[in-house]
Amino acid sequence: MTEPILKLTDVSVQFGALRAVDNVSLNVSPGERRAIIGPNGAGKTTLFNAITGVLPPTAGQIVFDTHPISRMSPHRRAALGIARTFQITNLFPSLTVDENMRLALRGLKRRKFSMFGTGTLDPDENTLATRSLEIARLPTRRQVLVKELSYGEQRQLELALSLAAQPRLLLLDEPAAGLSPAERSMVADIIRSLPRDLTLILIEHDMDLALGLVDFVTCMFEGRVLVEASPNDIRANSAVQEVYLGKARHHG
Ligand SMILES: Nc1ncnc2c1ncn2[C@@H]1O[C@H](COP(=O)(O)OP(=O)(O)OP(=O)(O)O)[C@@H](O)[C@H]1O
Ligand SMILES: [Mg+2]
């Protein structure tokens, strides 16, 4: 068996009395595509925050590619190859696509730079930007202000920015949230076309979308891992159906 690229052991994240992530253990293999599903408040985004370092775990260990990262800064985790996109877009609306790209790339290098420069990318940055924007199907919009992009294009740009970091582990938090059916199926196509050696963890509420994209599924509920199974077994799992249908009942 290959060693997992990401290994969580008994990870918890506590907010006051609430354990948003409660003793989660999880192994993800290199190149695997994993979905994290579960109802609102299950702890999915908090789990991502623990992996990226935005919220260090209050207990437990996280190992990425043999490096213990539980107490490492988000910046150092990014340098090791962990990238993420956010549930809510996180872009600079008054800057162009290329300027956003430049900020993302220079932020990675931690080099001093001006926020208000010309937005010119150096040749290496330009190669990365071109490749990432092609994968995210946004190659012709580089001089456009982000606020002029459609919401769907903004989500694509976020994906491109995270790809430009050349990650080995990419965490996508609801990449298709708020999109039209046509935009959702394009996002699904983009995810399918990502490099196969990139390890991917995807949070997604839409089961049909998520299950069509991944090798394996973790269903969370109340901070814990409820079920881990293949997409087919998840569909048929009564505990998973119960937490989804139970939520549907509460929402009327
Ligand atoms: N910074 C925080 N401070 C206090 N409580 C928080 C914080 N972030 C999240 N929580 C709480 O932790 C729990 C898990 O939240 P989280 O955002 O991880 O859920 P989620 O599974 O991503 O939900 P959704 O599907 O709605 O995005 C929720 O009860 C939430 O209110
Ligand atoms: Mg969330």
Contact 24 CB / ligand 1 (< 6 Å): no
In angstroms, what is the span from residue 223 Cα to ligand 1's centroid?
9
Judge if the beta carbon of residue 44 lies within 6 A of ligand 1: yes
pLDDT tens readout for residues 15-41: 999 999 999 999 999 999 999 999 999
Q: What residues pack around ion ligand 2 (CB closer than 5 A)? A: 44-45, 87
Q: How many CA atoms lie within 13 A of 15 on its CB side?
A: 11
Q: Are 146 and 91 in contact (CB under 8 A)?
A: yes
Asked if residue 12 has its Cβ within 6 Å of ligand 1, the reply is: no
Ligand 2 centroid to Cα of residue 44, in Å, is: 5
**Nearest CA, atom 5, ligand 1:** 15
Which atom, in ligand 1's list, is nearest to the CA of 46? 18
- 1-81+168-252 carries CATH number 3.40.50.300: yes
Q: Give the separation between CA 160 and CA 49, rounded to whole angstroms.
A: 20
Report the distance separating Cα 96 and Cα 129, nearest Å: 13
The pLDDT mean for the chain works out to 90
Window from 58-67, 115-124, 143-152 with minimum mean pLDDT: 115-124
**The model scores a pTM over 0.85:** yes
Any atom of ligand 1 within 6 Å of the Cβ of 40 = yes
What atom of ligand 1 comes closest to residue 87's alpha carbon?
A: 27
Tell me the C-alpha distance between 141 and 133, whole Å.
Answer: 9
Distance CA 3, CA 88 (A): 33
> How confident is the model at residue 252, as a pLDDT?
39
Of the ligands numbered here, which is closest to the C-alpha atom of 205?
A: 1
The average pLDDT across 226-250 equals: 85
Span 103-134, pLDDT tens digits: 888 876 655 555 545 557 888 889 999 999 99
Looking at all shown ligands, the one closest to residue 38's CA atom is 1
Q: How many CA atoms lie within 13 A of 185 on its CB side?
A: 2
Which residues are bridge partners to 62 per DSSP?
8
For ligand 1, the distance from its centroid to the CA atom of residue 41, given in whole angstroms, is 5
Alpha carbons within 13 angstroms on the beta-carbon side of residue 88 total 0
Which atom of ligand 1 lies nearest, measured to the CA of 38?
A: 21
Atom 10 of ligand 1, residue of closest alpha carbon = 20
What residue segments make up the domains of the chain, in order of their start?
1-81+168-252, 89-166
Across residues 34-49, what is the average pLDDT?
Answer: 96
75-99 per-position pLDDT tens digit: 999 999 999 987 666 799 999 999 9
Q: Is 36 in the pocket of ligand 1 (CB under 6 A)?
A: no
